[in-house]
Structure 1
Amino acid sequence: MQANGQVINQDPYHYYTITESAEQELIKATNELHLMYLHATDKVLKDDNLLALFDIPKILWPRLRLSWQRRRHHMITGRMDFCMDERGLKVYEYNAIPPPVIPKRA
């Protein structure tokens, strides 16, 4: 099957394996990146000049800051999208949300 010029594997059980050491490196990298995202978010929310760069309406800034302060010690869950090549891992995006936002399945 092809889509947008890409061949799509039709095997529903297709998967990749990695070594245990690669798994440990991936865990380490995701933990470090998560902390970097938290630090960057905190830095931006404390600096009006940085926050202005994100084109978020100024009227929302107090609510964003309050939300950030209230969640400081709450868990955040997320998904990081990576690619890997000969140079190592590269993160493409991080979709992080607090658990109460995650819909429950029956």
Structure 2
Amino acid sequence: MHTELNVDLEYTNLYDANAALVWIPPIEDFPPEMRQNVTDQSRFLILYDIAGLPIGHVPRGLAGAFRNIIELEGKITVLATGEPCPSFAPWPAPEATGGGHSM
């Protein structure tokens, strides 16, 4: 199953005016038989727990372009086509500037 994820600007980010978040759709957008699917075994989370929440940031290198598109067109969606996986270099480490570490 492919899932459309919404992208929206992170208006409360004081450090990056272009920051954008990727959001899981609301639970109603998923078929009932998927709502109990395990999304994170180590944390005992199911789809119902994370629906409607942000799941990550748009990489900094794309965020400025995404901001322009959102301001002009009003909406961006991305398509999740596979299993989630961690980001790797060249993205900044979590504790580095732009790496997503909360101050």
TM-score by length of 1: 0.29
TM-score by length of 2: 0.29
More helix by share: 1
Higher relative contact order (CA 8 A, sep 6+): 2
